[in-house]
Structure 1
Amino acid sequence: MSEKAWLSKRLESGKILCQACAQACKLEEGEYGICGVRKVEGGELRLLVYGLAAAVNVDPVEKKPMFHFLPKSRAFSVGTVGCNFSCKFCQNYDISQYPKEHEHKIIGHELPPENIVKLALENGCDSVAYTYNEPVVFFEYTYDTAKLAHESGLKNIYVTSGFETHKAIDLLQPYIDGMNIDIKSFSDEFYKEICGARLEPVLECVKYAHEKGIWVEITTLLIPGKNDSDDEIRSIAKFLADIDTSIPWHLSAFHPTYKMLEPPRTPESTLLRAYRIGQEEGLKYLYIGNIDNEDYESTYCPKCNKRVIDRSGNIGQFVTNELNENGCCPKCGYKLEGVWS
């Protein structure tokens, strides 16, 4: 399905500027954006995947990962083909890179916004998550769905690489309740060479989303020899602490995939080292992911150190939550930061 990609602007040159992400593609008739799913047709930018879902699942919200957002609830998860990044380690490359690797072919099954909301409610979900590929590339589809979801009492989550423009975040802010944003590295060279992107827009997105009152959690996939030095880990931790020490940081283990097959799996020792660095920089909530270690997947009260949310499983999907509906510790009464109801 194709719909007008209205988050766009005609320039004096006659080209169309896509205003969804920081790639800021300026396109002529017949040209595709870097994402492969936004194209100028008939003098306007069109979203080629509107209402076309390539991946749909009911997931634990912990899989996003969102650990301070309606723990133990289910998220109706939806994604399309296409991505504005080209990460060599992408775990969902079969859909994210599909149009680029198949001569701009679009795949997916019809799933309009109203059907997403209907299915989410029927499956006992408390939220809709826009995930698997980069949601900002199918912005208009997510916007229409999120608006309907809110009207039906559902919350909305963006799982993103953090290239949203300020304009996109401003429009999403009334309807997007949470974002998990990847900080893939603290090196612009890493972003350019491995992801086809840039670091600064990601950092700006994290700051702006937090400023707009959206609940933000961060994920960093630690790749041996690429982004796992003490200096780089500490730089990310300091960046987050300067914004808000309450931002949860998920430190995830890499496994070889797609075009990055040479680095080994991330050893647990690296994840624990990063965890300690985060603690040293004053971050309250640190988590280790893609391994099963409940001591480092669980949530501890920052005031009394009681374990208030037990998690186990490689994505922390088995949950025992002792917080009350307001997120307060049962031992000392401290109100933990997050979205609890």
Structure 2
Amino acid sequence: MTEVNINHPTRYWHKLENGKVQCDVCPRLCTLEEGQRGLCFVRARENDQIVLTTYGRSSGFCIDPIEKKPLNHFLPGTPVLSFGTAGCNLTCKFCQNWDMSKSREMDTLQQAASPAQLAEAAVQTGCRSVAYTYNDPTIFLEYAVDTAIACRERGIKSVAVTAGYIEPEPRAEFFHHMDAANVDLKAFTERFYWKLTGAHLQAVLETLEYIHHETNTWLELTTLLIPGENDSAAEIEAMTQWVMEHLGPDVPMHFSAFHPDWKMRDTPPTPPATLVMARDIARKNGIRHAYTGNVHNTEGDTTFCHQCGETLIVRDWYNIVRWNMAAKGTCPTCGASCAGVFEDAPGAWGARRLPIRIA
């Protein structure tokens, strides 16, 4: 069993000829002198190596519906034990979880749990999975991977909610241990990525292709549509066409509504009509399962059979109000399989959000 160790040794770094140490987890490749932290704030140079300063520490633990991640095609209706740490390797000006991801105060990490304790808590609370979320789990990779290993030993799945900004070698290890992932495809222009997130689009696209083609990790995508930034019909056309060409029709896409936050409080909320437009474009371009998020739209929350159009799952926000799937995620009318990870019946967790403490 891996115990909590705040300054935990890490694997992905190397020494440079100039005496600095380079972190090799994400494409930022931060080079650090003794005592310095990377941009993510949680990976630091200590005694000539890179350590993870948040191993075993969290801003809190909460049981959520799996649909909140959002994952609509992965064990629908089941509860997921969610947690995050502090810091992030992106600098999104629109961050919706900025109080955690932008935190530079380790005092916000007041709850502690070892990987084994997290797995035990998931078992005891009836959760089917554990989600590494709120801030990006790639920056606490060692903690997430150790927890995923402990969870798998107990029959608990692991879910990554991530921006996918990670280098190839750590990417292979990380997603080897993940059963499902929702990746934020934040936009489809390099201008947006560099101006609003401080990152680059191509690295994210490479992660998406890797997950879908090289792993067994179930993949869904989310795009937060921000008025005037990434919500044009032309950009959504290009994005959904890329998804069709490189990932295929079965990767679900979620188009979510922005609300003013962090450094973009003067930007207006996303009109619901924009989300409907994006969903319509995705479906027109061949995406079989496109959803609207952060708004009340029953049709935009509903899963339909791609072959005959039969209604399969009706959702009201995070509640499943109708389940019309046959065995193993098939359509009861035409027998077509719906892509995803389904059981014969949905879970009954509903829309509850339950904070918990782990002793």
Q: 1:142 to 1:73 in 2, by over 3 A?
A: same
Could you tell me which amino acid in structure 2 is paired with residue 272 of structure 1? V
Q: Is the 8 A contact 2:60 2:109 kept in 1?
A: no
Match of 1:293 among 290, 297, 316: 297
Per-residue CA distance 1:173-206 (angstroms, 9 max, x = gap): 3320111001111111111111111111111111
Deviation, 1:109, is: 1.7
Q: Pairwise mapping of residues 206-285 of structure 1 onto structure 2 (< 5 A)?
A: 206-213=208-215, 214-242=217-245, 243-285=247-289
Report the equivalent of 2:161: 159
- Cα distance change of structure 1 residues 288 and 37 upon mapping to structure 2, 3 Å threshold: same
Instruction: Report if the CA contact (8 A) 1:7-1:140 is conserved.
Output: no
CA distance in 1, matches of 2:270, 2:78: 29
In structure 1, what residue type is equivalent to 2:328? N
| Match of residue 65, structure 2, among 60, 73, 90 | 60
SS at match of 2:291: strand
* CA RMSD between the two structures: 1.5
Query: For residues 138 and 297 of structure 1, what CA distance do their matches in structure 2 show?
Result: 32
Is the CA contact 2:59–2:108 (under 8 Å) kept in the aligned structure 1?
A: no
SS at match of 1:173: helix
Is contact 2:313-2:320 (8 Å) kept? Answer: no
Secondary structure at 2:328 match in 1: coil
Q: What letter matches 1:223 in structure 2?
A: I
Question: Residue in 1 aligned with 2:85?
Answer: 80
Q: Which residue of 2 aligns with 1:317?
A: 319
1:130 to 129, 132, 138: 132
Amino acid at match of 2:236: I
Cα deviation 1:194-221 (Å, max 9, x = unaligned): 1111111111111111112321100000
Comparing 125-134 and 107-116, the one that deviates more: 107-116
**Correspondence for 2:184:** 182
Say which is worse superposed, 169-178 or 205-214, in terms of deviation. Answer: 169-178
Higher relative contact order (CA 8 A, sep 6+): 2
2:3 is aligned to: none
| Maintained 8 Å contact 1:48/1:106 | no
What residue is the counterpart of 1:35 in the other structure?
A: 40
Structure 2: stretches of 5+ with no match in the other structure: 1-5, 344-359
1:325 offset after TM fit, Å? 4.7
SS at match of 1:98: coil
| Runs of 4+ in structure 1 over 4 Å off | none
Whether 2:40 is the aligned partner of 1:49: answer: no
Q: Could you tell me whether the CA contact under 8 Å between 1:2 and 1:46 is conserved in 2?
A: yes
Change (3 A) 1:70 1:317: same
Which runs of 5 or more residues in structure 1 are unaligned?
Answer: none
Q: Deviations over 1:136-171 (max 9, x none)?
A: 000000000001111111111100011022212211
Q: How many residues get paired?
A: 336
State which drifts further: 140-149 or 189-198.
189-198
Pairwise CA distance, 1:317: 3.4
**Aligned partners of 1:141, 1:61: CA distance in 2, in Å?**
21
Q: Secondary structure at the match of 1:218?
A: strand
User: Quick one: percent identity of the two aligned structures?
Assistant: 39
| C-alpha contact (below 8 Å) 1:81/1:108 kept by paired residues | no
CA distance in structure 2 between the partners assigned to 1:325 and 1:168 by the alignment = 37
Q: 2:15 aligns with which of 10, 13, 26?
A: 10
> What is the TM-score of this pair, normalised by structure 1?
0.95
Q: TM-score, normalised by structure 2?
A: 0.90
| Cα distance in structure 2, aligned partners of 1:55 and 1:196 | 27
